Structure 1
Amino acid sequence: MLNHPTLDLLTDLGLHGMAKGFRDMADNPEAAALNQAEWLAILLEREVTLRQQKRFESRAKNAKLRHQAAIEDVDYRTPRGLDRTMFLALAGCDWIRQRRHCLLTGPAGIGKSWLACALGQKACRENLSVLYQRVPRLFAALALARNDGRYAKLLHQLARVDLLILDDWGPEPLTPEQQRDLLEILEDRYDAGSVIITSQVPIDRWYEIVGNPTLADAILDRIVHNAHRIELKGESMRKKRATA
């Protein structure tokens, strides 16, 4: 193994990408033809790449995405009403930086959760913070947190991420407690962060899910009018794969 004062300094300074690059280049005879500026540029690029990868891995771990989905693996061939141009535009994540929302609706098994996770994974790659939550489990967690004093802390965790994915909303009507919980979540994120909501229920029936007309107006006004809509249709992709 190469021993060199520069290598030791890079390691001591926590510049592990540069240290690995230094070792690789020292072992490569072709690197001898490079000048000092070229060496430095390559080492800096190695360091930046390593740090970006570590940031992505940390964000992806904290996001707790349900599926290991990626934009590059999206299936556009299956007829389900997914507009390739629109979805690739969403993959650019500008809508998240603009604090807009995305509403994904369609029948069970059509790929809503997978697509939401693909957008979430891309947001992690864009150095944006993401958190995935299944709505039924989130409401249960909020109910427990309300009883043991963690309610405000949990709401803060939901509010501070750039993108919050609320998966599988509906079709059961919300209880009064859940209505207030959802309003608190969306109020905290209004003009402060983006939301992806997936649901089997068409958007024009979301008022029925909320139940309380006054709260329904307050909740939906914060998301529907500032959101991209993806309305999927067709047969269950899970069913197709099972019978293939």
Structure 2
Amino acid sequence: MITLPDRMAYARKTKLELQDVLELILQDEIDRREQKNLTMRLKRASFTEEQTFEGFDWDAPVTFDRQRVRDLFSLGFLERHEDALFMGPAGVGKTFLASALGHAACRAGRHVLFLRADQLLKQLRQARADHSHEKTLRRFLAPDLLIIDDFGLRRLDSIQSSDMYEVIIERHRRTSTILTSNRTVEEWISLFDDPILAQSAMDRLAHNAHQVVIEGQSYRIRLRPGGESLKN
């Protein structure tokens, strides 16, 4: 980090005018505050790993609509309060891309929250027991971008179905949500305890979402030691 003595030494060496020195010092302070705010946003987002657009291997042997995904990284979908669904088998990069979008949103000054579907549902269930359900629900409704990872691993009971329905309905067209799943949207309805709730939630979510289906070799295997050899 550039310090004030560094700037003063640079100013003497380059014989800068006072106004130019002050502008440099002011910009340094702006940059410092922006970096501090970004660090706080990333911490609040609770990412399991720091994954970015720049870190994704675009040559990985997986098939998906690359142009659609690159368009998502422009973050226009956040402005329009649209959603995104990443679907495909385990290890193909769904969570990586979802997290990278969240990281990009943090860099753009957005409030992001990342958590697994089972964590979200567990927290909401616990909140019912201690009478903090409304407060906990608001925590999931507040972010500009909510990323729910690994949705659909298990069938939902009646309480989980109700909670998931409420999160989806309340966020619909107000904020943006990203879901990752190893199931297709058509399979999601059968996961809910109540088919009416399921149909209502899925209709809203699917019709407002950019759907990205990823197929191919496990991206996760390529990231382990020695995985690079799988390129050939």
Q: Provide TM-score, normalisation by structure 1.
A: 0.86
Name 2:133's counterpart in structure 1: 151
Which residue among 95, 98, 119 is the counterpart of 1:116?
Answer: 98
Over 3 Å counting, the alpha-carbon distance change for 1:27 and 1:94 in structure 2 is: same
Structure 1 residue 208: Cα displacement: 1.6
Name 2:156's counterpart in structure 1: 174
Contact 1:21 1:42 in 2 (8 A): no
Name 2:21's counterpart in structure 1: 39
Name 1:214's counterpart in structure 2: 196
Deviates further, 157-166 or 35-44 = 35-44
The 1-side partners of 2:11 and 2:141 are apart by 52
The 2-side partners of 1:168 and 1:55 are apart by 29
After TM superposition, the structure 1 = structure 2 runs for residues 196-215 of structure 1, keeping only pairs within 5 Å, are: 196-215=178-197
Structure 1 residue 21: Cα displacement: 4.8
CA deviations on 1:174-197 (whole Å, 9 max, x unpaired) are 111111101111222122210000
CA deviations on 1:184-226 (whole Å, 9 max, x unpaired) are 1122212221000000001222212224221112111221111
Deviates further, 212-221 or 27-36 = 27-36
Name 1:5's counterpart in structure 2: none
Are 2:54 and 1:72 equivalent residues in the alignment?
yes
Over 3 Å counting, the alpha-carbon distance change for 1:21 and 1:153 in structure 2 is: same
Structure 1 residue 237: Cα displacement: 2.4
User: Which amino acid in 2 is paired with 1:42?
Assistant: L
After TM superposition, the structure 1 = structure 2 runs for residues 1-244 of structure 1, keeping only pairs within 5 Å, are: 21-28=3-10, 32-241=14-223, 244=227
Unaligned runs of 5+ in 1: 1-16
User: Which amino acid in 2 is paired with 1:84?
Assistant: R
Over 3 Å counting, the alpha-carbon distance change for 1:240 and 1:34 in structure 2 is: closer
SS of the counterpart of 2:143? coil
CA deviations on 1:39-76 (whole Å, 9 max, x unpaired) are 22212211211111111000000000122101111111
Structure 1 residue 239: Cα displacement: 3.5
Over aligned residues, Cα RMSD in angstroms? Answer: 1.9
- The list of structure 1 runs, each at least 4 consecutive aligned residues, that deviate by more than 4 angstroms after superposition, is 29-32, 240-243
SS of the counterpart of 1:27? helix
User: Which amino acid in 1 is paired with 2:133?
Assistant: Y
User: Which one scores higher on RCO, CA 8 angstroms, separation ≥ 6?
Assistant: 2
User: Which amino acid in 2 is paired with 1:220?
Assistant: M
User: Which amino acid in 2 is paired with 1:123?
Assistant: A
The 1-side partners of 2:38 and 2:8 are apart by 28
The 2-side partners of 1:241 and 1:44 are apart by 41
Contact 1:116 1:165 in 2 (8 A): yes
CA deviations on 1:88-131 (whole Å, 9 max, x unpaired) are 22112121122110100000111211111111111100000000
The 1-side partners of 2:8 and 2:202 are apart by 60
Q: Which has the larger radius of gyration?
A: 1
Deviates further, 54-63 or 67-76 = 67-76
The 2-side partners of 1:92 and 1:65 are apart by 20
